[in-house]
A and B are shown apart, each in its own frame.
Chain A
Amino acid sequence: MGNIGLWFRKEWKHLRKNRELLLLAAPGVLFKFVIAYIPMVGLILAFKFYRYDEGIFGSRWVGFDNFEFLVKSQDALRVIRNTLAYNFVYIVLGTVTALLFALLLNELTGRMVKLYQTTMFLPFFISFVLVGYIGNAFLDHENGFANNLLTMLGFEPRNWYFETGPWLFILPLVSIWKGVGFSTLVYYAGITGISSDYYEAARLDGATRIQMMLRITLPLLKPLIIILFILGLGNIFRGDFGLHYFVPNNVGMNYATTDVIDTYIFRALTKLADINSAAAVGFLQSVVGLVTVIGANYLVRRIDKDSALF
């Protein structure tokens, strides 16, 4: 007992000594407690039958019923599959295009580089709501440019929003369109950070531009590529809500190929539909998401210790 008392007194002294800085941090810490940590407790909802009038703690405990329902309903399996598959495609395609663009951009000098960068960056600045408008300008069944073009070329117009097939291509295309400017610049910044000494030496040895690209730039970028790739994988359970909600315009007929975890949960909340399945899927998203992030970080640590996130 005496030990604990001693420890307590010592700690109290530390607390007093650090009280000013502690006070400074207190609002943020309290805020995070309410807004981030309390909802973590709410994850137990996945094991309850939630009723708004009974609250989180008052609602009936149902064990794994929600998960059982989830497996039977197919809907949830579908959104999990869609989330994982689309994110994987976005990560791979995004990395490859951005890397290619950055390498090519690095071969150029002068004013044009800036112009290209700025143009490619434009989609980054608009919200997905506006991307939805752009999508509508192309895909609207009656007036859209895509159908105009198809008709002009002698093809039958299509009901884009009512079909499932086209989204497998449209969504990755929009994802690249929106993000490529930013990711290109991330890699480009990485390339410009490489010391010019390497290139000087290579040039003296008579290396060609392609050789320098493949033997100097790419190997030196490897840590950055791997880290961004793995971090992307770590977030693979987080669906891109904006992309998957506004671009397919939330039309039920295309859910089979557009619905992801986040849009599914959102609908459950706003339409007061099946909040229990949503809670179960959300539970999986949070818990499995944590595991993937930690796993991804573990991999990064093994490859390059300094680049690990934690």
Chain B
Amino acid sequence: MTHAPSGRLGNWIINGFFAVICLLIALPFALVIIISVTSENSLIEHGYQFLPSQLSLEAYQIVLSKPQSLLQGYGVTIAVTVIGTVVSLLLTAMTAYPISRSDFRYNRPITFYIFFTILFSGGMVPFYILMTQYLHLKNTLAALIIPSVLSPFNVMIMKGFLDKISKEIIESAKVDGSSELRIFIRIILPLSTPALATLGLFISFGYWNEWFNALLFIDNDKYIPLQLLLVRTLAQIEFLANSPMAEAADRLQYANFPSLSVRMAMAILAGGPMLVIFPFFQKYFVKGLTVGSLKG
């Protein structure tokens, strides 16, 4: 697109505007990173600054010298993400395929049945009681996976994709005597790879960043995912000082446990890696979510 000469000034102004906005959006990230590499003395003396007086990697040294809780957090989060995504994709496709078939007699009632759960729910109280008192899922990995394993939004997105698959392929497979299950596994699933990949991305993103169910259902130390570890670290500064890390701090001969910088270092180590990975898939987030936010 070519712009008239008068447009060039406009372009400069708009570019300047976005440069400022982007700076403002990025600075908060920078602050956390900078705090994590500032020496504790400097933090105690001057508080959190963008230009610290003394840099130090002590916080990372301490966290990484006793990485048990962090590693365990990664373990739980990875397990939940992998299992959750696989089960969720399969269940979503299995639910979406029949209701995408116009010759399926019950496609309308089932579509409504699934869709209605977007509009209406029992809310948090009955759900909590169901999960803890009736299904007895408190302090289990399942409590982190089950609540979001079959999202009606994802079913609608998947149905939208499957609606476009040519019915003739299915018809001819049926003529050849294939069962519906066989058609689903041999034809539908392979044809849906692009949709499954996009949905898989959303789902894994959701599981990776999930903290709500952990907050509700996990209170032992065994199944703490990364996000819950971060919640606890943020909520009580003593949490870290009472952890095995304090020992490490002793060994590394710090007079006081550097809780301020260690806390931010935890945030970086737990949250950083995905912040680097997910943006590469930004395109798919937009594509899929626009569809999802409008119509399935």
A and B found bound together: yes
Binding site for B on A (CB under 8 A): 14, 17-18, 20-25, 27-29, 31-32, 34-43, 45, 50, 52, 55-56, 101, 104-105, 107-109, 112, 115-130, 132-134, 136-138, 140, 142-145, 147-148, 177, 180-182, 185-186, 189-190, 209, 224, 227-228, 231, 241-242, 246, 249-250, 262, 265-266, 268-270, 275, 278-279, 282-283, 285-286, 289-290, 293-294, 307, 309-310
Q: Contact check, A107 vs B279: say whether CB atoms are below 8 A apart.
A: no
Question: Which residues of A are found within 8 Å of B29, using beta-carbon distances?
Answer: 122, 134
Residues of A within 8 A of B15 (CB): 108, 112
- Give Cα A120–Cα B1 distance, bound, in whole angstroms: 24
What are the nearest 4 A-B pairs in CB distance?
A42-B126, A39-B122, A28-B95, A20-B180
A241→B152 CA distance, assembly (Å): 20
How far is it, in angstroms, between the C-alpha of A268 and the C-alpha of B126 when the chains are bound?
Answer: 12
Add 16 more A-B contacts to A56-B126, A127-B227, A282-B123 (CB < 8 A): A32-B113, A38-B122, A40-B122, A41-B126, A45-B129, A107-B14, A108-B15, A120-B21, A120-B22, A122-B29, A126-B271, A133-B267, A145-B31, A177-B28, A180-B25, A307-B295
CB neighbours (8 Å) of B289 from chain A are 182, 186
Asked if B271 and A130 make an inter-chain contact with CB atoms under 8 angstroms apart, the answer reads yes
* Stretch among B64-72, B102-110, B190-198 lining the A interface: B102-110
Q: Does B278 contact A (CB under 8 A)?
A: yes
With contacts A127-B271, A228-B293 taken as known, whether A107 is within 8 angstroms of B216 at the C-beta atoms is no
9 A–B pairs (Cβ distance < 8 Å), ordered by A:
A21-B98, A27-B95, A28-B114, A28-B155, A31-B150, A38-B122, A122-B279, A265-B123, A282-B123
Whether the pair A310, B7 counts as a contact (CB closer than 8 A) is no
B211 close to A127 (CB less than 8 A): yes
* Cβ contact within 8 Å between B294 and A24: no
Q: Known contacts A18-B105, A39-B130, A186-B293; is A29 also within 8 Å of B110 by CB?
A: yes
Q: Is the pair A285, B123 in contact by a Cβ cutoff of 8 Å?
A: yes
Known A21-B180, A122-B25, A144-B48: A265·B234 in contact at CB below 8 Å: no
Asked if B129 and A181 sit within 8 Å, CB to CB, the answer is no
CB-CB under 8 A from B135, the residues of chain A are 34
CB <8 Å contact, A104 and B17:
yes
A127 to B286, CA, bound (A): 18
Who on chain B is nearest to A180 by CB?
B25
The docked-state distance in angstroms from the alpha carbon of A182 to that of B93 is 26
| Contact assessment for A189 and B179 in the assembled complex, using a CB-CB cutoff below 8 Å | no
Count contacts on B: residues with CB < 8 A to the other chain: 95
Given A42-B122, A228-B293, A209 contacting B21 (CB threshold 8 A): no
Q: Count chain A CB atoms within 10 A of each CB in B1, B14, B44, B123 and give the residue with the most.
A: B123
B180 surroundings in chain A (CB, below 8 A): 20-21, 24
Give which listed residue, A129, A224, A268, contacts B211 with CB less than 8 A. A129
The answer to the question of B220 belonging to the interface, with a C-beta cut-off of 8 Å to chain A, is: no
CB neighbors of A among B125-157 (8 A): 125-130, 133, 135, 146-147, 149-150, 152, 155
- Residues B60-96 near A (CB distance < 8 A): 91-92, 94-95
Is A130 a contact partner of B22 (Cβ separation < 8 A)? no
Known: A122-B25, A286-B122, A310-B115. A144 touches B282 (CB 8 A): no
User: Which B residues are CB-close (under 8 A) to A25?
Assistant: 94-95, 97-99, 106, 110
| Distance of A20 Cα from B231 Cα, bound (Å) | 46
Q: A32-B150, A105-B18 are in contact. Are A241 and B113 (CB under 8 A)?
A: no
Residues of A within 8 A of B101 (CB): 21
Q: How far is the CA of A138 from the CA of B180 in the complex (A)?
A: 57
Measured between alpha carbons, how far is A255 from B97 in the docked complex, in Å? Answer: 46
B239 interfacial by beta-carbon distance below 8 Å: no
264-284 of chain B: CB within 8 A of chain A: 264, 267, 271, 274-275, 278-279, 282
A133 near B234: Cβ-Cβ < 8 Å: yes
Chain B nearest CB from A43 CB (Å) reads 5
Does A137 contact B126, Cβ atoms closer than 8 Å? no
Given known pairs A126-B275, A145-B50, the reply for A22 and B18 (CB within 8 Å) is no
Least CB separation from B122: chain A residue: A39
Instruction: Determine if B216 and A269 form an interchain contact, defined as CB atoms under 8 angstroms apart.
Output: yes
User: Quick one: which of B119, B123, B260, B263 contacts A293, CB cutoff 8 A?
Assistant: B119
